[in-house]
Chains A and B, each alone.
Chain A
Amino acid sequence: MAAPGPARLLRAAAASSRRWLFSSTSPAAGPRPGYGGAAAAGRTARPFSLSARAVLSSEDKITVHFINRDGDKLTAQGKPGDSLLDVVVDNNLDIDGFGACEGTLACSTCHLIFEDHIFEKLDAITDEEMDMLDLAYGLTETSRLGCQICLKKSMNDMTVRVPEAVADARQSVDMSKNS
């Protein structure tokens, strides 16, 4: 079962504190050691090389387009091996409620819908991921969990879609910039 190791979890949690649009305070405080650390304890780390970061040049980056629930296109980049959850968190992409369990296969909030030609080449799905997808909203034939999909060069420029959260798609109201 692919689960993130402590280092990645902490990074994800710390980064998630940055994406709060309504906060003007510094996100100095990271995750709560009590809970975030507990999730990481005892799990197997996925290969993750810190040294890879230093030698990355822009051509190693992989571009991903996300079609958000409101139809907006968000474009971001990540490194090979990054999960799509990493890409969302590291780039502060504004997708409501994405990655609630922080990549531990305990929810389905990072559910994404893939293009057919990409979906066909994704790594095999585990029973555990299927189990969580069963609870996802708007499940399709090409649905996967973003935390389980790691970037490959062949994915460059792919487009993934964030499914509608509720069955009756309501006109979303955003008054975050109006005051």
Chain B
Amino acid sequence: MAGAGGRAPLGLRRWLSSPAPAPRVCVVGSGPAGFYTAQHILKHHGGALVDIYEKLPVPFGLVRFGVAPDHPEVKNVINTFTQTARSERCAYYGNVTVGRDVTVPELQQAYHAVVLSYGAEDNRVLGIPGENLPGVYTARAFVGWYNGLPENRDLKPDLSCETALILGHGNVALDIARILLSPLQLLRKTDITDSSLAALACSKVKRVWLVGRRGPLQVAFTIKELREMINLPGARPVLDPADFTGLESAVRDAPRPRKRLTELMIKTALEKPVEMQAAAAAGAAAPREWGLKFQRSPQEVLPSADGRRARGIRMALTCLEGSGDSAKAVPTGAVEELECGLVLSSIGYRSLPLDPAVPFDSQHGVIPNSSGRVQGVPGLYCSGWVKRGPTGVIITTMNDSFDTAQSVLEDLQGGVLDTSPPREGFGLVESILRSRGVRPVSFSDWEKIDAAEVARGKAAGKPREKIVDPVEMLQIIGH
């Protein structure tokens, strides 16, 4: 009875007196998709036992490692996830890499249903010359660095240049621009890592360009993040009114989100001269600034004279064929070069196949599925980014995870999942892990790490100081 051991007299009694064995479900990945899927199954099935596996010792995936440190309110979902993890019918096993420490077929032996919610751990690559020069980073690595993701803790990005260029027009691109340009005192009280804060304190970056291949009507960021950027203290938006000519009428009948987003950009672009005059009149020192550049496709990251680092980028100008979301950027033949010592590619995350036993659509980077049921593999499900691709905000993942959970519940109710042969659940997995020398981290272990992080942050007035070294995490819990 791993996962329910001792804590749950009521649930246990109910389970023992029930004629059918309790369905055992496991979820791979402890980000929002994993937790929302687990939550929905536990809530709507009074007997199901759910185990959540996580590669890292610590839970919550992108809520901990993706959500920007200055967005603590989004991290409130952790309170709900914590309640789920503390349920007597739920157990958390961190420090277990599915596909390496235990295979998916082994999990299928141990559980009636297996839900894959492991997200998108890779990123799309630019595929252009110079992409690997020092000074060029992926957004995913940069975000991982300032958020204390163990694998990115030694990134040490070079912030010694004045101009940074971010390729991409999504919320991650805006997050990075905001972190690069935020006044330090705004970041100091967040859970950004100490070492990133120290690096940002020495940063020379004062201008950030966000570059997209397509136009203002195709931007992927959402209006909350754009408004936040526009209102960022000490940073001036630089939008070219010419980029927005005629767009007001083009969005008149567009869906409300696109319409309001475009109108905010237009308003900001037109306001610019007034603000500049005001700043000039006040004799203000040149503030930090940021801007959106459209219809430019990166061709090459240009090396410095000694060839040792990035000094700029060459971009092909494009025109749009078609309209709306399906518009395609086609090079016009003209090119433009821009000086920038820091290039961040924020062109999307990408899921990777986990196990040869799981079908994978490498073209779209998702597991082929229907309402979360993995095609051709009964008893196997998926939710979150690995199910629908790496887009959307927290509510998108919540709904999508509830949808997958609903499929699991339907299959339990309709008998598609045969629960009459009992499954051992973690009991079986535990012996497999032990034979391979893997020691899982429990949720109460995580709570010790959590308490240590909160204690370390307290002195500096931060909500926490994240521990970035997995070895140190394991030391805290005596592993």
Using a CB–CB distance below 8 Å, which chain A residues touch chain B? Answer: 13, 16-17, 20-25, 27, 29, 31-39, 41-42, 96-97, 100-102, 104-109, 127-128, 130-132, 134-137, 139, 165-166, 170, 172-179
CB contact between B256 and one of A41, A134, A178 (< 8 Å): that residue: A134
A32 to B399, CA, bound (A): 24
Given contacts A20-B83, A23-B83, A107-B393, are A135 and B77 in contact (CB under 8 A)? no
**Other CB < 8 Å A-B pairs besides A33-B454, A34-B454, A175-B48, 5 of them?**
A20-B43, A23-B88, A101-B76, A107-B74, A172-B44
0/1 interface trace, chain B 401-424, chain A, CB 8 Å (1 if under): 011001001101100000000000
Residue contacts A-B, CB under 8 angstroms, 24 given: A13-B76, A22-B43, A22-B89, A31-B79, A32-B79, A34-B463, A37-B463, A38-B75, A38-B190, A39-B72, A96-B40, A96-B402, A100-B76, A100-B398, A105-B73, A106-B71, A106-B73, A108-B395, A109-B395, A109-B398, A127-B227, A131-B260, A166-B403, A174-B44
A106, B74: Cβ atoms closer than 8 Å: yes
Distance from B449 Cβ to chain A, minimum over Cβ atoms (Å): 11
Residue numbers in B under 8 Å from A132 (CB-CB): 224
B227, A170: Cβ atoms closer than 8 Å: no
A17, B78: Cβ atoms closer than 8 Å: no
Query: Does B209 make an interface contact (CB < 8 A)?
Result: no
A170, B409: Cβ atoms closer than 8 Å: no
A111 to B425, CA, bound (A): 38
A135, B79: Cβ atoms closer than 8 Å: no
Chain A binder among B14-22, B154-162, B309-317, B342-350: B14-22
Residue numbers in A under 8 Å from B402 (CB-CB): 96-97, 165-166
B87, A32: Cβ atoms closer than 8 Å: no
Residue numbers in B under 8 Å from A176 (CB-CB): 43-46
Distance from A114 Cβ to chain B, minimum over Cβ atoms (Å): 17
A24, B73: Cβ atoms closer than 8 Å: no
Nearest chain B residue, comparing its CB with the CB of A43: B73
A175 to B406, CA, bound (A): 11
Scoring A39, A42, A165, A179 by chain B CB atoms within 10 A of each residue's CB, the highest score goes to A179
A175, B76: Cβ atoms closer than 8 Å: no
Task: Determine the main DSSP class of A at the interface with B.
Answer: loop
Query: Does B222 make an interface contact (CB < 8 A)?
Result: yes
B403, A170: Cβ atoms closer than 8 Å: yes
B11, A100: Cβ atoms closer than 8 Å: no
Query: Does B86 make an interface contact (CB < 8 A)?
Result: yes
Interface set, chain B 425-479, CB cutoff 8 A to A: 450, 453-454, 457, 463-464
CB contact between A17 and one of B75, B83, B222 (< 8 Å): that residue: B83
A130 to B371, CA, bound (A): 30
A27 to B87, CA, bound (A): 10
B398, A134: Cβ atoms closer than 8 Å: no
A42 to B70, CA, bound (A): 12
A41 to B89, CA, bound (A): 33
Nearest chain A residue, comparing its CB with the CB of B225: A131
Residue numbers in A under 8 Å from B224 (CB-CB): 128, 131-132, 135
Nearest chain A residue, comparing its CB with the CB of B257: A134
Interface set, chain B 330-375, CB cutoff 8 A to A: 371
Query: Does B8 make an interface contact (CB < 8 A)?
Result: yes
Nearest chain A residue, comparing its CB with the CB of B18: A179
Query: Does B132 make an interface contact (CB < 8 A)?
Result: no
